A and B are shown apart, each in its own frame.
Chain A
């Protein structure tokens, strides 16, 4: 896994475009060799955060620290980070080889060969060639070195974009929805490949996506953002199992979110009855959100469960059925491998540890 030293730190970052504030006081740190995903719906500020780390936007307030040094005002070409852009942004006037060579050719022979006393240009050219071919092999594109980039498929262009960035051996790689333009199958393959590369090379990855499944598959740490504010930071499992608020619960996986009232510790009222739960520390009679995952609801016989309900609709989802069941004047979303026909009467049951109680979110735009 990753070392526990802070490599990048954002302190109190705010940013507005015109009248819209896209980032509100963001505080975040990223460790060396960590795979961090910024996850959220479009317009949540995740891409702006990435662009501030890359140096393409400057924050209105706050500082960006790299290895403890303030780099807030440093231009992109002086930062030790490389970016993979959403639509790859390859150089169409150059072929595959020259695209990958772009960053290396901007370096001096001394920078390319730090071990050699007085490196010549010819030695530098050899070193560049060696690194490019190694990188093209890594992304399985060595046969395409002399091709123009326009002739490549989306997946191939993606690989070249990755090679072009990684060949510079950056300490941090920023990825802005890099797989968004690929079809589902290719996306799954590339997810695994990117994750493997990250672990092999030990580079810090900061990955932006709106796809929660992608985030859960790849990340060490997920940062859930909404409305320019960080909602929750944690491992995929902790965010899925213990969402902090109704937004996170709803965005990561499916959820039933009910208006509820906390009667006392370990006891909550919702959908016309009282449930036992494992949460404490709320105010007496505090209005709360009660969250139950669809797969945590068990279907039992009528009058055996906690609630009785009627199946309103059924959808086949491959591994499971997704049913909407009306019970206690609430439409519950339920996932089950057993199918109950619409109109049938069933009982619903939930174990206390699967009921999550959350403070009501401040309802703001």
Chain B
């Protein structure tokens, strides 16, 4: 029996649940309601309104990724260090939210941010003016960062953790003080982790829909919400598919760019 036989189930799965749906999406995107071939749907996707939504999604995703990187890198770095590597529980705390359903997490965030939610009632008890939190851009960004932070921490943690202690000692030995050791050796060696972290956070961020709907109270429309609307509410599968294709192109493009940095800057390592 050939070894390729064992990849059969996977190939079948791919065909049934990836290739076929993709063909359907492409079919719907390139046909009108009567099934005739057309570019109208795709063209509509590039109209001003939708480009605005696209731009908003990209900006929010970029901001979310940047915040996750700024929060996640130090966190992963410290947790991978000597002082904390024995305290596994701290690391579990980072991962714990990942084990819960993300909708549940987002509903929990809602109860925090609501007009009569935990934060506002606390402010009131302290005699301060309640603040409008839910339904703002900040709330959506907060929800995204909260949901995707572990995906930044994990790959960076792995890449810092597997750094050879001797290589760091070699840098010290050659005269590098702690700051220079970090910027000339540790940071460059953790680039593969940073790259995976960025892609792990940016991809789901740019396609987010439930978080923006729940925490944005329908005020902050993202590309994911628009696509969901086309399918579920407006029943316009053709245009929804066209938007999905645009989004896929966007993701493939950004992944391609990231991979180029990865190849140029450092050895390719698979953290995930």
Taking beta carbons and an 8 Å cutoff, which residues of A are in contact with B? Answer: 54-56, 75-77, 81-83, 85-87, 89-93, 102-103, 106-107, 150, 164-165, 168
Contact = CB atoms under 8 A, between A and B. Distances in A.
Interface of B is mostly: helix
B177 interface: yes
Interface in B221-272: 265-267
B122 interface: no
A56 B266 CA distance: 27
Interface stretch (B38-46, B65-73, B165-173): B165-173
Contacts of A90: 167, 170
A83 B267 contact: no
Contacts of A93: 185, 188-189, 191, 265-267
A263 B174 CA distance: 58
B86 interface: no
Contacts of B185: 91, 93
A108 to B, nearest CB: 11
Contact of A83 (B170, B176, B184, B266): B170
Given A87-B166, A106-B180, A82 B173 contact: yes
B178 to A, nearest CB: 8
B164 interface: yes
A41 B265 CA distance: 41
B175 interface: yes
B191 A106 contact: no
B163 to A, nearest CB: 10
Interface of B: 164, 166-167, 169-177, 180, 184-185, 188-189, 191, 265-267
B164 to A, nearest CB: 6
Contacts of A54: 169, 173
A76 B173 contact: yes
A168 B170 CA distance: 13
Contact of A89 (B164, B188, B266): B164
B170 A89 contact: yes
A77 B176 contact: yes
30 contacts: A54-B173, A56-B173, A76-B173, A77-B172, A77-B173, A77-B175, A77-B176, A77-B177, A86-B166, A89-B164, A90-B167, A90-B170, A91-B167, A91-B170, A91-B185, A92-B167, A92-B189, A92-B266, A93-B189, A93-B265, A102-B176, A102-B184, A103-B174, A103-B175, A106-B180, A107-B175, A164-B174, A165-B174, A168-B174, A168-B175
Nearest to A76: B172
B28 to A, nearest CB: 46
Contacts of B266: 92-93
B175 A89 contact: no
